[in-house]
């Protein structure tokens, strides 16, 4: 009858060492990935609300000891009533066309509005400007704005049937950037686990 392995025997110590080192390596890898993704969003995208950066989340490590896998991940959490979610992040990553869902036009805030997005908090929607009106710009764009004094116009929103988003990948470049560091970190974890095995 084979002997049962106890935590205080050689194999038990090796198993604990492997799990511990893998968990530490995954923790470090998750931290690297989270920092790289957030930095990518900060430097590659025109930042309005910061919602996309703040939606990046980390999870793990979970699992173990062997043979159970130890896992972890970095992901986009849905926040703000669905305004930031994996679909929203994906169109920045892959590129694509944004079309209105419930109306004929996309309402895009202009610099006079400041940060945030259309449909956001009060003061950043067309209906929050009862004295506003629509007009065409010299380039033919449909603009919603308001009059300042007698002779000045303040453009508030530009209306579009659709918007073409050019791909500005963040996750792919972040993964490629940290890949060598992650490989070195897991190699170090393996070395430390083997050292425990040899000493056992």
- So where are the chain's domains? 10-94+166-199, 97-164
What is the pLDDT at residue 6? 54
What is the pLDDT at residue 85? 62
What is the pLDDT at residue 148? 86
What is the pLDDT at residue 116? 47
Round the average pLDDT of the chain to a whole number and report it.
Answer: 82
What is the pLDDT at residue 78? 65
* HEC profile of 69-120: CEEEEEEECCECCCCECHHHHHHHHHCEEECCCCCCCEEEECCCCCCCCCCC
How far does Cα 65 stand from its chain's mean position?
30
Question: Is the pTM for the entire model greater than 0.85?
Answer: no
Q: Which residues of the chain have pLDDT under 50?
A: 1-3, 5, 116-122
What is the pLDDT at residue 5? 47
């Amino acid at each position: 009858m084979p002997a049962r392995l106890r935590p205080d025997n050689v194999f038990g110590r090796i198993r604990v060492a492997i799990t511990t080192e893998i968990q530490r390596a995954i923790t470090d890898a998750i931290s690297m990935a989270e920092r790289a993704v957030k930095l990518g969003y900060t430097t590659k995208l025109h930042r309005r609300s910061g919602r996309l950066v703040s939606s990046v989340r980390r999870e793990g490590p979970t699992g173990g000891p062997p043979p159970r896998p130890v896992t972890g991940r970095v992901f986009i959490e849905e926040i703000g009533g669905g305004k930031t979610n994996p679909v929203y992040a994906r169109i920045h990553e892959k590129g694509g066309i944004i079309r209105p869902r419930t109306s004929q036009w996309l309402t895009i805030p202009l610099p006079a509005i400041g940060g945030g997005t259309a449909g956001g908090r009060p003061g950043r929607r067309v209906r929050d400007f009862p004295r506003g009106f629509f007009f065409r710009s010299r380039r033919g764009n449909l603009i919603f704005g308001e009059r300042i004094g007698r002779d000045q116009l303040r453009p508030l929103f530009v209306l579009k049937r659709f918007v073409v988003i050019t791909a500005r990948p963040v996750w792919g470049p972040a993964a490629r950037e940290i890949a060598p560091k992650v490989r070195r970190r897991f190699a170090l974890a393996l070395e430390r686990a083997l050292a425990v095995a040899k000493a056992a």
